[in-house]
């Protein structure tokens, strides 16, 4: 019996004459505008006046690729997203001005929807994450009616919507081993620029985030904490798939793991250190005998990093200053959680999307996604979020059960480890508000889910 193969999803968005003409004209216009950007730079213009024309030039190039080779556009988007936050022209994440990452998300959603339309009829290959994510989006939309910050609430909904589109695209795209490897390679390529920037920050002592007496690297991210979370996902996934790689890929991944571990240490993010340990323990347990070597490596690294780790955890023995102010981030988080929880007047539906930062003295999100879901979306929202977390574990379990080769099992184990780390970090971070982190979490989840589709192909290749 010949195994049934899924057709390769390579349909283009458009190759008609008018599309080609529009692309050529657009590139010509963009070239002229880019020359204007150079003139603006020479005249000492602002960042917006310099970068905007360049962005226009790049946008037309992206448009050309997206319309003719969507596979390259998708892989390029996966590889580039981790480096985009450094290009923000506003310090508040685009709340009051141009946000490059927002433009990227809008363009990706637009091109993605057009590509999905071109793939009709869509293959019924739904990830367990889709339904809880749709439910969360619907709740978020309803909550906007009574949120005190409508514009920011809409921005939160758009982030969740972008992740949903990404999941739907990857479910249709990751139906062959070639596409699976393409996206996996793009994920690892995404770490090159952030790690290079982190190395530059450390060696030149510039661009560091200074807090609590520690000089912390941020890479291409806006803060050390999201950079650390991103590195946690890269490290866990790389270690999980390492045994499935050939010789040169193993060398490249080993370098990536070492560099990412070094950078993770220099972020001084305690929760990320704990999360990567938890995720690697899960990978080691599932890897059938690799748990002890992994523990050995962690022990060696921990011994070498004792001064750094001990210094970062030293202030946890203190609670408050004489004036009653918290002296460490953990104590601050606990106080923030208490303030947000005590301000909830409607526990069923919550206080509205993006309202939790208005209920604390510091006017910041509570750094706990479970607390935030309850405060903003009530008991219903918290249950949906728990459904999303549980669905992650279901996805990992199903992928592990059907995996038939080393790469498939590595992807499934990698997501199991990433899901574990995500759960740990959700207890002390605002993961649901950071599109770049949800972006790579969704990609790792889609790679794991694709094991169910590519398993027959892998079995046929082995036989």
- DSSP H helices in 305-402: 306-313, 329-342, 369-402
The two counts, helices (H) then strands (E), for the chain are 18, 2
List the chain domain ranges: 1-122, 133-462
CA distance linking residue 340 with residue 366, whole number of Å: 7
CA distance linking residue 137 with residue 143, whole number of Å: 10
Out of 103-117, 156-170, 300-314, 356-370, the most confident range is 156-170
What's the pLDDT score for residue 84? 84
CA distance linking residue 127 with residue 106, whole number of Å: 23
At residue 234 the predicted structure's pLDDT band, cuts being 50, 70 and 90, is: very high
Q: What is the pTM of this model?
A: 0.83
At residue 5 the predicted structure's pLDDT band, cuts being 50, 70 and 90, is: very low
CA distances from 217 to 86, 195, 235, 256, 262 (A): 13, 10, 17, 17, 11
- Residue closest to 442 by CA, chosen among 101, 128, 167, 105: 167
What's the pLDDT score for residue 360? 74
Q: How far is CA 322 from the centre of its chain?
A: 40
The answer on pLDDT for 241 being more than 90 is yes
Out of 119-123, 331-335, 395-399, the most confident range is 395-399
Q: How far is CA 414 from the centre of its chain?
A: 15
CA distances from 235 to 10, 50, 229, 392, 453 (A): 30, 36, 10, 19, 25
Buried b (16+ CB within 10 A) or exposed e, 292-322: eebeeebeeeeeebeeebeebeebeeeeeee
Q: For residues 262, 263, 267 and 268, what is the CA-based torsion angle, rounded to 10 degrees?
A: -10
Give 354 or 15, the one with higher predicted confidence.
354
Tokens of 306: 């004792």
Tokens of 310: 């001990």
At residue 164 the predicted structure's pLDDT band, cuts being 50, 70 and 90, is: very high
């Amino acid at each position: 019996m010949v195994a049934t193969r899924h057709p390769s999803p390579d349909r283009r968005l458009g190759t008609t004459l008018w599309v080609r003409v529009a692309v050529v004209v657009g590139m010509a216009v963009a070239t002229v505008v880019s020359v204007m950007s150079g003139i603006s730079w020479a005249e000492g213009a602002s960042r917006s006046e310099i970068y905007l024309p360049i962005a226009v030039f790049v946008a037309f190039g992206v448009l050309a690729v997206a319309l003719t080779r969507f596979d390259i556009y998708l892989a390029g988007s996966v590889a580039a997203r981790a480096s985009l936050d450094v290009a923000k022209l506003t310090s508040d994440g685009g709340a009051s001005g141009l946000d490059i990452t927002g433009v990227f998300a809008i363009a990706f959603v637009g091109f993605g929807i057009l590509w999905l339309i071109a793939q009709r009829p869509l293959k019924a290959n739904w990830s367990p994450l889709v339904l809880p994510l749709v439910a969360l989006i619907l709740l978020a939309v309803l909550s906007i009616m009574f949120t005190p910050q409508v514009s920011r609430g809409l921005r939160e909904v758009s982030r969740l919507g972008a992740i949903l589109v990404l999941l739907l695209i990857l479910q249709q795209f990751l139906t062959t081993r070639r596409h699976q490897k393409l996206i996996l390679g793009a994920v690892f390529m995404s770490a090159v620029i952030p790690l290079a920037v982190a190395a530059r920050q450390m060696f030149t002592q510039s661009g560091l985030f200074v807090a609590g007496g520690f000089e912390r690297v941020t890479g291409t991210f806006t803060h050390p904490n999201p950079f650390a979370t991103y590195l946690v996902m890269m490290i866990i996934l790389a270690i999980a798939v390492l045994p499935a790689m050939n010789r040169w890929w193993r060398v490249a991944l080993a370098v990536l793991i070492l560099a990412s571990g070094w950078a993770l240490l220099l972020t001084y993010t305690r929760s990320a250190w704990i999360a990567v340990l938890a995720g690697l323990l899960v990978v080691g347990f599932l890897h059938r005998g690799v748990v002890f070597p992994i523990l050995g490596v962690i022990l060696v690294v921990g011994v070498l990093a004792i001064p750094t780790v001990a210094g970062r955890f030293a202030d946890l023995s203190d609670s408050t200053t004489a004036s009653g102010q918290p002296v460490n981030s953990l104590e601050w988080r606990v106080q923030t959680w208490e303030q947000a929880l005590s301000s909830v007047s409607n526990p069923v539906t919550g206080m509205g999307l993006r309202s939790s930062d208005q209920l604390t003295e510091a006017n910041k999100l509570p750094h706990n996604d479970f607390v935030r879901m309850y405060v903003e979306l009530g008991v219903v929202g918290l249950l949906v979020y728990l459904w999303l977390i549980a669905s992650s574990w279901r996805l990992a379990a199903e992928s592990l059960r059907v995996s038939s080769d080393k790469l498939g099992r590595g992807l499934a184990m990698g997501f199991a480890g990433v899901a574990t780390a995500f759960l740990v970090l959700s207890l002390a971070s605002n993961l649901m508000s950071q599109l770049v982190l949800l972006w790579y979490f969704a990609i790792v989840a889609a790679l794991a889910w694709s094991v169910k589709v590519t398993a027959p192909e892998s079995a046929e290749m082995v036989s």
